[in-house]
Structure 1
Amino acid sequence: MKNLPTKWVYLVILSIVWGSSFILIKKALIGLTPLQLGALRTLFAAAFLLLIGFNSIKKIKKSEWKWIAISAFLGTFIPAFLFAFAETEIDSAVASILNSTTPIMTLIFGAVLFSITFTRNQLFGVFIGLIGSFLLILAGAEVNPNQNYWYATLVLLASVCYALNVNIIKRHLQEIPAMAIAAGNFLVLIIPAFVVLLFSGFFKQEVLYSETVHISLGYLAILAVFGTGVAKVLFNKLVQISTPVFATSVTYTIPIIALLWGFLDGETFTIWQGGAALIIILGVFLTNRKKKTTTF
């Protein structure tokens, strides 16, 4: 990877890290509830990032804290719970594929809220990608009738949150160091996450002393440090050195890693789901085929 441009190195690393996150969520949910997982994931990541990056927070100006807070909730807090609830009903591999709609969402909200103009190919790609998402949900519901595929909409909602966040970082937080953004995000989230954890039932004696919970906490710790903490810093930097749509292109390659983990864990994936996944990727490819006519 020595000769690759820096942005591609970041993209490869993030693909591996985030591609492994979905199976870690699945394993952590064996002993934890979605509320517990989302809250603890945030708190563990906050502890890690503030330990290594607290001094960088002073680089955030007072006027920028509003955007840091909005970025924190859209880019981390809300999606953490949405994915946790979604994976109680749908396979981790399917969740990762639906997450690949993030670049499409980024383009849509970039145009609507941040004055980025559509090209014809990009508009066509948006419709193709959304059709693929719909077909993937239908195929999954048919293959796994015991799973509630309405929960797939939670992944799509998380993609909307990511899309808004990446545009906010590019527009309003471009000059702030990536570590400072990440540390500031989690400083904001400590109290909300602790409040959720307090009311999640985690501190009951039977939970705290459960061996299953302890094993789940191990998976969660890996998820929080690497899948949230380290990845958050890398992604913030990737947004700053590239474009929002390129940065979210990491979601094209994430499913490759997630599908491998899902297969090893015994998840079912049919040819029809594979076809729907290819339609999504085709749509995403079309949205990136030509440069946008306006820039940030």
Structure 2
Amino acid sequence: MDKIYNNRWFLLLFISITWGSSFILIKKSLLVFSPYEIGAIRVVGSGLILAAIGIPALLRMRRSTLLWVIIAGFFGNFVPMFLFPIAQTQVSSSLAGILDSLVPIFILAFGFLFFGIKSKLKQVIGAIIGFIGAASLIFFSEGNSENSQFGYAMLIVLGGASYAVNSLIVKEKLPELDAIKLTAAVYSFWAIPAGVILYFTGMIQNFEMQPNYIEPIIYMSFLTIFGTAIAMLLYFKLIQNTSAVFASISSYLLPVVAIIWGILDGEEFNFWYILGGVLILIGIYLIREKKTAPTSIPA
């Protein structure tokens, strides 16, 4: 089991499938929940699940470590949880997954600008090809139609940039912190402001169970447990064992999962999805890194 937990390709595949499925789960949850309720429930639910580990971890952290944990959580575990459901009120689940594939571009750019991380020319070319693949999908899909909502689509791009900042902080500032403790700590901290937001949505005070709530609640449960808490834990583990760039390859794979779910749900599919997908896979091949020894993570 420990061998699987430390296998970077297993982690990458699990994360890609889980996060790629998150967009359709958000879409189904929006049938009865507001975007702010979905974001708050994901953070609060994950915080409650992990509180037994997260609270003690927070209390034992040095001030400098705690500050970076809070900042990382803000960019990767708080803000995107609201940006994506807000955007998906106007953007399809498959297009949302495609736009999220821009994360590696932001990692390469922010890594160079803020952390002085130099990328190989091959990786830069791979990122550009992957971006062209995503851009072609956007241009020839609903994103270029008269009914498209550019502002909402940009919220997803902003969410991708936010994930990139989170990934770089985890790799550069928190490499020795146990992935489980890190995940538990960020959700335990940000569950408090998320709980305040949930309260002001009125859901806690006015919630009444209705038959049409059953399926969306099931979707929300999967989204919170697997798509939020567990997936983020494994993502942090993957970053620490490899690099932010390698972990971000999941952002090239998850659009494939998102598109499959979208097709099954009756969303648009055409030749440009195939072309864009091929370009994205070429980008993955070029941006990949040679295997390195896993980073030692303290128990």
TM-score normalised by the chain length of structure 2: 0.86
Who is 1:12 aligned against? 13
CA contact (8 A) 1:68 1:181 kept: yes
- Aligned AA for 1:22? F
Who is 1:94 aligned against? 95
Residue by residue over 1:183-239, the C-alpha shift from the partner in whole angstroms, topping out at 9 and shown as x without a partner, is: 11012112210121122232453x534443443222111110111111111111111
Q: SS at the partner of 2:141?
A: helix
Measure how far apart 1:181 and its partner are.
0.6
Who is 2:274 aligned against? 274
* Counterparts in 2 of 1:68 and 1:106: CA distance versus 1, 3 Å: same
When structure 1 is superposed on structure 2, of 18-27 and 274-283 the one drifting more is 274-283
Residues 15-54 of structure 1: pairs in structure 2 closer than 5 A: 15-51=16-52, 54=55
CA contact (8 A) 1:82 1:155 kept: yes
5+ long unaligned stretches in structure 2:
292-299
Who is 2:297 aligned against? none
**Aligned-partner Cα distance in 1 for 2:93–2:161:** 19
CA contact (8 A) 2:53 2:185 kept: no
Tell me how many residue pairs correspond in the alignment.
290
Measure how far apart 1:90 and its partner are.
1.6
Who is 1:105 aligned against? 106
Who is 2:230 aligned against? 230
**Aligned-partner Cα distance in 2 for 1:51–1:180:** 10
When structure 1 is superposed on structure 2, of 168-177 and 137-146 the one drifting more is 137-146
Q: SS at the partner of 2:140?
A: helix
Residue by residue over 1:41-72, the C-alpha shift from the partner in whole angstroms, topping out at 9 and shown as x without a partner, is: 11111111224655444553232110010111
- Aligned AA for 2:110? F
- Aligned AA for 2:224? A
When structure 1 is superposed on structure 2, of 164-173 and 150-159 the one drifting more is 150-159
Residues 232-271 of structure 1: pairs in structure 2 closer than 5 A: 232-271=232-271
CA contact (8 A) 1:93 1:262 kept: yes
CA contact (8 A) 1:121 1:290 kept: no
- Aligned AA for 1:41? R
* Counterparts in 2 of 1:138 and 1:223: CA distance versus 1, 3 Å: same
Q: SS at the partner of 2:117?
A: coil
Identity of aligned residues (%): 36
CA contact (8 A) 1:60 1:180 kept: no
- Aligned AA for 2:264? L
Q: SS at the partner of 2:203?
A: coil
Measure how far apart 1:134 and its partner are.
3.4
5+ long unaligned stretches in structure 1:
292-296
1:164 maps to 2:165: yes
**Aligned-partner Cα distance in 1 for 2:278–2:60:** 43
Q: SS at the partner of 1:26?
A: helix
Measure how far apart 1:36 and its partner are.
0.8
**Aligned-partner Cα distance in 2 for 1:54–1:201:** 27
- Aligned AA for 1:249? I
RMSD: 2.6
1:202 maps to 2:212: no
Residues 101-140 of structure 1: pairs in structure 2 closer than 5 A: 101-140=102-141
TM-score normalised by the chain length of structure 1: 0.87
